[in-house]
Amino acid sequence: MADERRVDPGGGARAGRTRWWSRGVSVARRLPEPWGFVLAVFAGSKLVLSLIGVLVLTAWDGVPGAPPADETAMRAQQDAISSHRWFSLWFAWDSFLYEHLARLPLDRPWPDFGFPLLYPFLARPLAPLLGGHTAWALLLVSNVALVFQLYYAYRLEGRLLGGAGAADGRRAVRYLLLLPTAFLFQAALTESLFVCLALAAFWYAERSRWLLVGVVGYFLAMSRSVGFLVVVPLALVLLREHGWRAGPRAWPRLLRQGWPLLLVPAGWLTFMAFCRWQSGDWFAYQHAQETGWGIRLQNPIATAASALTGGNSADALRVWIAVATLAVAVVGLRRRADWPYLVYTLVMVLVPLSMGPPVYKSLLRYLLAAFPVAFVLARWSRRPGLDGWLTAALALLQGALFAVWLTYWTHLII
């Protein structure tokens, strides 16, 4: 009897798709831990946020009063960056200044010292490889930094949470991406680069690789003005490694091992030297901040109090989130071994508040640097039943803020 087979006309196509998917899964499984998980989380978050972003923006087309008058210029700048919304939505306010700085020639007088060098300068060598598109280069820097940020978060979790299992690392990564404004990690801004370098510096410090700490810290200080202050919590990691002994007998050993920490403030001194070279003013950055945005050093407690009692609900919301960030850090990082991360979080919250009321509009953005809060939440979520509720609450909060970011009230966040 002849061998009869049923032929499915679409079977070949389905088999091809199955083989493609199987090959993708197989490749991911062969990647060293935790790269498969990290890349999957990155790709998933990028896809979900981009899809939501396009849908929200499309839904708001034609709504009266959108965009408001003070954001019309920014929307025109987004259109000039790209006609594709899934791409242009990741650019807002400071993004266009970074794009401008990435294109400025260095052999002419530098017109603006209000932004540190690292982020726009990393885009310079990439832009020619991308057809001269500095916007693409900036977004590439941000997203590559985000991938490495998730990698270092996964690794550092074992030190900070006291666990070594894959579940703990995955929770740490998840809660880092669930912070209220974590969608900004994917934007053409400095957040992902700064947090990536901070996580890397602490990871190498925990492993006593102090020369690497110094090199990473050097670039950390050139990525944002608060970066050079990270030398303080990094020095506490060194002190903790030596049993918190800082007497005269301990100093030679501390200096012999921890001298690379001097590279951290050297990074900011390099930026100051650039300011001096271009303008003749070592403090051009400070003067640009004062004249351009009215930023001056102030009492952070007084700044927070004025927001909470000033009657502006948006400012009060921002500061309450900062207070909640501090509360989580103080409660969750009480152990002596956690003190370097507590000090780091205090710096990341109090320094922006010390800039005075002009910082209110960007406070939710600056709070993203306080990555230990995500690790505390991951530690707490080990309790049965809490993980699901906490994940859902943070996802809803971030979703609401993301919609606010997209629907023409960007100034609530940046």
Distance CA 73, CA 84 (A): 18
Q: Which residues contact 127 (CB under 8 A, 6 or more apart)?
A: 102, 103, 133, 134, 136, 137
Structure tokens at 6: 């049923």
Count CB neighbours of 299 within 10 A.
13
For 197-206, what is each residue's pLDDT tens digit?
999 999 999 9
- Can you spell out the DSSP letters for 269-286? HHHHHHHHHHHS-TTHHH
In sign, the C-alpha dihedral spanning 104, 106, 112, 117 is: positive
For 63-89, what is each residue's pLDDT tens digit?
776 667 777 778 888 888 888 889 999
In terms of DSSP H, where are the helices of 310-371? 313-332, 339-353, 363-366
Q: Which of 283, 9, 274 is nearest to 117 (CA)?
A: 274
For residue 111, give the H/E element and its range. none
Tell me the domain boundaries of the chain.
Answer: 33-412
Three-class secondary structure of residue 20 per DSSP: helix
pLDDT at position 408:
64
Q: Which of 160, 158, 208 is nearest to 34 (CA)?
A: 158
Structure tokens at 204: 């190498």
Distance CA 36, CA 208 (A): 27
pLDDT at position 10:
52
pLDDT at position 28:
58
pLDDT at position 377:
93
pLDDT at position 162:
59
pLDDT at position 47:
95
The answer to whether residues 326 and 373 touch, using CB atoms and an 8 Å cutoff, is no
Amino acid at 313: S
pLDDT at position 4:
44
pLDDT at position 2:
45
pLDDT at position 249:
77
Name the DSSP class of 32. Answer: P
Where the chain has pLDDT below 50, the residues are 1-7, 20-21
Distance CA 230, CA 217 (A): 8
The answer to whether residues 149 and 179 touch, using CB atoms and an 8 Å cutoff, is no
